Amino acid sequence: MAKMIVAGNWKMNASKETVAALLKGLKQGALAVKNAQLVVFPPFPYLAQTQIELADTRIAIGVQNICAADNGAYTGEVSLAMAKEFGVSYVLVGHSERRALYAEGDAQVALKFMATQAMQITPILCVGETLEQREQGLTISVVTGQIQAVIDAAGGASFANAVVAYEPVWAIGTGLTASPAQAQEVHQAIRAHLERVAPEQAAGLKILYGGSVTASSAQELFAQADIDGGLVGGASLQADSFLAIGQAAK
Ligand code: PGA
């Protein structure tokens, strides 16, 4: 069976010194991670350092955000071609912090998703409900709506080269984790939704869980039928805890 993916989203946390220590630890421990593709998502200024350090490893590199345009007058943005020069093979699109803090809507998320695929890079489409939406019973409709917005723009077949990350907003950085059953329910609904529009892509789609994943919660989460790995924030900043999550992959 295909490997799980364990992805570490460092967010805006790094210095040359912490990156050096973290990458050193990951290089030393990565061989013990047998059943997961590890991916790290450094902030842009540390891409070169990360590429050099990870050159002789199987750890993949991703970026946390990208500009959908090719090049030109987009002050402050980073293009896919630039990311590609640094060995980037995954891009996070639609992370809830981008949606909430930078007003990225479904249309922009879909553009980034398509631009990423056009460069032969794999988008990781992040979806998830707020606590308020969950309490109103809207979880499945919010999450499948976020997926459908990308299907409308890119087509269901595009999910052959994509990963989905289900990250309940209320579980991100809060220490609250969706229970394995809560997560499985949503993962199953995502797969079932894709099954209706793109039956050939549904079974093989990797759906990661994110939201306060730790080494102790990972094992039970990863044992769920429709959970294919994790998108890890806080616990990806230390090599030991990130590697332990990688080792929880089956
Ligand atoms: P967290 O972040 O593990 O710190 O909750 C997850 C994410 O936002 O990707």
Number of folded domains in the chain? 1
CA diameter of the chain:
49
**Bridge partners (DSSP) listed for residue 5:** 37, 229
Catalytic, 187? Answer no
CATH number at residue 142: 3.20.20.70
Nearest ligand 1 atom to alpha carbon 165: 9
Best residue for ligand 1 mutational test, from 126, 231, 242 (most atoms within 8 Å of Cβ): 231
Catalytic, 95? Answer yes
The alpha carbon of 47 and the centre of ligand 1 are apart by a number of angstroms equal to 20
Beta-carbon contacts of residue 230 (< 8 Å; ≥ 6 apart): 4, 5, 6, 7, 208, 209, 210, 213, 218, 221, 222, 245
Q: Residue 167 and residue 18: Cα distance in Å, rounded? A: 26
Q: What pLDDT, on the 0 to 100 scale, is given for residue 43?
A: 98
Structural element, H or E, at residue 222: helix 215-222
- For residue 63, the enclosing domain spans 4-247
Q: Do 202 and 164 meet the contact criterion of CB atoms below 8 Å apart?
A: no
The alpha carbon of 196 and the centre of ligand 1 are apart by a number of angstroms equal to 29
The alpha carbon of 95 and the centre of ligand 1 are apart by a number of angstroms equal to 10
Ligand 1 pocket at CB < 6 A = 9, 167, 172-173, 210-213, 231-235
Q: Do 146 and 130 meet the contact criterion of CB atoms below 8 Å apart?
A: no
Mean confidence (pLDDT) of the chain: 97
Task: Give 10-residue mean pLDDT values along the chain (250 residues).
Answer: 88 98 98 97 98 97 98 98 98 98 97 98 98 97 98 97 97 92 98 95 96 96 98 98 96
Give the side-chain half-sphere CA count within 13 A for 74.
Answer: 10
Q: What pLDDT, on the 0 to 100 scale, is given for residue 76?
A: 97
Q: What pLDDT, on the 0 to 100 scale, is given for residue 250?
A: 84
- Among 143, 150, 144, which Cα is nearest to 116's? 150
Q: Residue 234 and residue 213: Cα distance in Å, rounded? A: 8
Nearest ligand 1 atom to alpha carbon 172: 5
Q: What pLDDT, on the 0 to 100 scale, is given for residue 226?
A: 98
Q: Which two tokens stand for residue 216?
A: 């102790």
- Catalytic residue chosen out of the listed positions 53, 95, 129, 193: 95
Q: Do 35 and 58 meet the contact criterion of CB atoms below 8 Å apart?
A: no
User: Phi and psi dihedrals of 5, rounded to 5?
Assistant: -115, 130
User: Token pair 């990130």 is at which residue?
Assistant: 242
- Catalytic residue chosen out of the listed positions 53, 104, 129, 167: 167
